[in-house]
């Protein structure tokens, strides 16, 4: 059975979007009804298969025929979370559908899909021969791939030879150091890639694995934008410095790093920033430093070092403040922020948001410092 809800079915003059959700078992009757609803003017299609849905080979084949009958789709999102594919035959059938689609932008979500390693490998192997796709988003998170599974899946990424934008989520797969190194080696073969968004959070990679992986990724000569989620990977201060060394030697223009939960201290962050100060290409940086070993005094020192990044044109910073932070410390933050001329966006994680707002209301000097140059300041609370 399937359904199209009013609030998720929209028709616009310029960008027509069709969104639907399947539940229970997908059969040919459902798909025939789908064919009558999908019109030639749908340019953006999003399809969600509910958890534990039963997917038969004949239905997948029919599904593929329907998608291929619509010639002007420019975006397809296919979400298959915790679905039940009965065997390799169904997986191969789905892969063949993806292989034949003439769509440039595809978002495939296979989070917790229970396909087993052999299934993921077969799926990516067949799908990767699609020469049309240029913007690919692939979510394989929480699938217990391990180092071997990661290496085997990634060996086929190079076959997406025309891809320019890749968003790859391998979070919570325990790929460890060897899997990360293999990933970097395979990604380095995508020489047409201009933008890479890579989530490898919660994978116990370690500083050596991250360094080697990043070294290989930065061999992509066309790469200009890198968004890297390294949350919970045992990076340490030395690892942060090594990332800075690699980025300094690169030709990247835009970098976003999520370094949460990596036991980083003031020393590691400053050594990282020191390396970035020598970069001639980097103009945009986004840093998430939440949940590390950074004290309030360290934040002021870090902000002072950020002010030395003269070539940066856009800077976004996320950090946490300690509990029981007093007004004087917030004023010190404000003074340090005043020196960061290129700090365009600031997100502060505070324990007590109401107390923080009270500090702002009672002390105009904090507001003067923090709101100088019309910067975007965003505060949110944690428990």
Listed residues 103, 132, 161: the one ending a domain: 103
The rounded distance, in Å, linking the Cα atoms of 72 and 81 is: 27
Which residue has tokens 């019309």? 374
Q: Is the pLDDT of residue 231 over 90?
A: yes
**Residue 305 has what pLDDT?**
86
Question: Per-residue pLDDT tens for 154-183?
Answer: 999 999 989 999 999 999 999 999 999 999
Question: Per-residue pLDDT tens for 294-322?
Answer: 888 888 888 888 888 878 888 888 888 77
Average of per-residue pLDDT across 229-248: 94
Is 185 inside any structural domain? no
Residue 99: CB atoms within 10 Å = 19
Is 216 inside any structural domain? no
The rounded distance, in Å, linking the Cα atoms of 86 and 287 is: 43
Question: Per-residue pLDDT tens for 250-269?
Answer: 999 999 999 999 999 999 99
Q: Is the pLDDT of residue 24 over 90?
A: no
Is 5 inside any structural domain? yes
Residue 42: domain span: 1-103
Listed residues 65, 80, 103: the one ending a domain: 103
**Residue 139 has what pLDDT?**
94
SS3 288: strand
CATH number reported for the structural domain that contains residue 368 in this entry: 3.90.190
Q: Domain count for the chain, please give it.
A: 2
Question: Per-residue pLDDT tens for 101-116?
Answer: 889 999 999 888 767 7
Is 64 inside any structural domain? yes
CB–CB of 180/204 below 8 Å?
A: no
Listed residues 61, 85, 103: the one ending a domain: 103
Distant-in-sequence, close-in-space partners of 197: CB < 8 Å, separation ≥ 6: 165, 166, 167, 168, 227
The rounded distance, in Å, linking the Cα atoms of 315 and 82 is: 38
pTM of the predicted structure, to 2 decimals: 0.88
Please state the φ and ψ torsions of residue 38, each to the nearest 5 degrees.
-75, 120
Q: Is the pLDDT of residue 9 over 50?
A: no
**Residue 191 has what pLDDT?**
95
DSSP sequence for 24-87: SEE-HHHHHHHHHH--TT--EEEEEEPTT-EE-HHHHHHHHHHHHH-TT--EEEEEE-S-EE-S
Is 41 inside any structural domain? yes
Is 147 inside any structural domain? no
Is 202 inside any structural domain? no
Give the whole-number percent of the chain exceeding pLDDT 70.
74
The CA–CA distances, whole Å, from 255 to 142, 199, 234, 293, 309 equal: 25, 14, 20, 22, 14
Give the whole-number percent of the chain exceeding pLDDT 90.
43
Is 140 inside any structural domain? no
Please state the φ and ψ torsions of residue 315, each to the nearest 5 degrees.
-135, 130
């Amino acid at each position: 059975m399937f359904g199209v809800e009013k609030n998720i079915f929209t028709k616009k003059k310029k960008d027509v979007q069709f969104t639907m959700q399947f539940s229970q078992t997908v059969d040919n009757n459902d798909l025939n009804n789908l064919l009558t609803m999908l019109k030639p003017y749908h340019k953006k299609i999003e399809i969600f298969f509910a958890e534990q849905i039963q997917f038969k080979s004949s239905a997948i084949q029919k599904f593929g025929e329907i998608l291929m009958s619509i010639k002007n789709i420019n975006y397809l999102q296919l979400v298959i979370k915790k679905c039940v594919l009965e065997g390799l035959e169904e997986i191969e059938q789905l892969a063949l559908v993806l292989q034949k689609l003439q769509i440039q932008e595809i978002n495939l979500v296979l989070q917790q899909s229970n396909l087993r390693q052999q299934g993921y490998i077969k799926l990516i192997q067949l799908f990767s021969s699609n020469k049309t796709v240029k913007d690919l988003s692939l979510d394989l998170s929480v699938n217990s791939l391990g180092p071997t599974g990661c290496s085997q899946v990634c060996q086929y990424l190079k076959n997406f030879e025309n891809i320019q934008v890749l968003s790859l989520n391998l979070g919570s797969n325990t790929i460890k150091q060897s899997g990360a190194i293999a990933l970097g080696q395979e990604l380095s073969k995508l020489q047409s890639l201009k933008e890479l968004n890579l989530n490898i959070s919660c994978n116990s990679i370690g500083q050596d694995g991250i360094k080697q992986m990043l070294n290989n990724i930065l061999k992509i000569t066309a790469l200009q934008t890198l968004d890297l989620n390294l949350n919970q990977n045992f990076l340490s201060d030395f690892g942060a410095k090594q990332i800075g060394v690699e980025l300094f030697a690169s030709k990247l223009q835009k970098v976003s790093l999520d370094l949460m939960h990596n036991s980083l201290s003031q020393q590691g962050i400053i050594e990282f920033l020191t390396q970035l100060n020598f970069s001639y290409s980097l103009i945009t940086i986004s840093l998430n430093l939440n949940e590390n070993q950074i004290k309030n005094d360290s934040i002021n020192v870090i902000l002072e070092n950020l002010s030395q990044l003269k070539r940066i044109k856009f800077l976004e910073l996320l950090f946490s403040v300690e509990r029981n932070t007093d007004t004087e410390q917030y004023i010190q933050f404000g003074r340090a922020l005043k020196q960061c001329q290129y700090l365009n966006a600031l997100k502060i994680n505070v324990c007590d948001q109401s107390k923080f707002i009270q500090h702002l209301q009672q002390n105009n000097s904090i507001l003067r410092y923090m709101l100088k140059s019309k910067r975007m300041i965003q505060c949110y609370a944690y428990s």
